[in-house]
Amino acid sequence: MKRREFITLLGGAATAWPLAARAQQAARQRRVGILLAFAESDDEYQGRVAAFRQEIRRLGWPEESLRIDERWPADDMKRVRADASELINLKPDAILVGGRRALSVLQEQTRSIPVVFAGITDPVEQGVVTSLARPGGNVTGFSTFELSVFGKMLETLKQMAPSCTRVALVFNPDNASGVLVSRIFETIAAPLAMEATLIAVQNPGQIERAIESFARERNGGLLFAPDVTVYIHRQLVIAQVARQRVPAIYADPVMVKAGGLMSYGPDRLDMFRRAASYIDRILRGEKPGDLPVQQPTKFELVINLKTAKTLGLDVPPTLLARADEVIE
């Protein structure tokens, strides 16, 4: 063989080797776990997961190259722990998690698998990450609320029901975000001349009794902190609030769609779409600790006019003008 032919052949082989390696790497199916502390029958969260799936496919991960394993343990901590262990044993490249308690379980069980959360209140204050800019470790994601947003929620409730002079925060003491809000609740209620009360609930019976007890005095309003227990039992919550004729504001628009008066909070579908972008970046080699925790970019005010009418409330035109969605 002539020297020139040998060099050409050698050069061609050298070029082919990295191409073959890249093709082999591309052919390897990657794996992502999803752990949600919600029921699989929950249409609202199914829609959020669908938004995530649609976005991750759009970013270049078709089904043949990315397997997604979902676990829906609902609000059962025993199942949350078991499902978390099961996902970790599958050795996924990353895990998407929804729910503060589910995130805590993952943090207990793995410090190596990248975890992206979608919907945690003030993750620095809760000790989930060391800082928003550089979270460090194996966890990053998208927060739902800064504590200042709860002041905005109270202002909106006062606009809707100006006669409110008393307000209660309904929260679950097992939920770190609810406890966090409870510590500042009196401070944010004071400028609005509203007497602040804390209502800690952990189960449906406590929810019913607490709302009934609070409603015995007039001119009261309720603010519901974001919580899985309240979310799962939303039909009971909405029915009891309506029965006691108390104006209330919620952190999630699903409560208003179920018959609640109003909600103010981040666009949850947008949050799950944005979470897909972080999973994509991790799959392509970036470290979760280098990806800054992102704050919500879209907030939504949702008002249920039928519920307002039932409560005898005239919705101020200024609120209607601000509303992103009005349910009639």
Q: What pLDDT, on a 0 to 100 scale, did the predictor assign at position 196?
A: 96
Domain 9-143+267-298 has CATH 3.40.50.2300: yes
- Low-confidence winner among 79-93, 122-136, 234-248 (lowest mean pLDDT): 122-136
CA–CA separation, 17 vs 48, rounded Å? 42
Judge whether residue 2 has pLDDT over 80: no
Q: pLDDT of 112-165, one tens digit each?
A: 999 999 988 888 888 889 999 999 899 999 998 778 889 999 999 999 999 999
Q: What is the pLDDT of residue 186?
A: 93
Which tens digit of pLDDT belongs to each residue from 169-208? 999 998 888 898 999 999 999 999 999 999 999 999 999 9
Q: Which amino acid is at 21?
A: A
Distance between CA 263 and CA 241 in Å, rounded?
14
What would the pLDDT profile of 287-325 be if each residue is shown by its tens digit? Answer: 999 999 999 888 999 999 999 999 999 999 999 999 999
What span, in angstroms and rounded, lies between the C-alpha atoms of 269 and 271? 5
- What is the pLDDT at residue 27? 57
46-82 CB burial, b ≥16 within 10 A, e <16:
bebbebbbebbeeeebeeeebebebbbbbbeeeebbe
- With a pLDDT cut of 70, the percent of the chain lying above it is 92
Quick one: pLDDT at residue 120?
85
* Identical fold, 9-143+267-298 and 148-266+300-327: yes
- The pLDDT of 87-100, averaged and rounded, is 95
Pick among 3.40.50.2300, 3.40.50.2000, 3.50.30.30, 1.20.140.10: CATH of 148-266+300-327:
3.40.50.2300
Confidence of residue 48 (pLDDT cuts 50, 70, 90): very high
Q: pLDDT tens digits, residue range 151-175?
A: 999 999 999 999 999 999 999 998 8
Mean predicted confidence (pLDDT) in 264-281: 95
Lowest mean pLDDT, pick from 23-32, 48-57, 175-184, 266-275: 23-32
CA dihedral 199, 202, 205, 206 (to 10 degrees): -20
Q: Could you tell me the residue ranges of all domains in the chain?
A: 9-143+267-298, 148-266+300-327
Cα within 13 Å of Cα(305), Cβ side = 9
pLDDT at 81 over 50: yes
pLDDT band for position 328 (cuts 50, 70, 90): confident
| pLDDT higher than threshold 90 for residue 264 | yes
Q: Is residue 64 scored above 50 in pLDDT? A: yes
Give the chain's mean pLDDT: 90
Measured torsion, CA atoms of residues 109, 111, 112, 116, in degrees rounded to the nearest 10: 90
Q: Looking at residue 100, what is its pLDDT?
A: 84
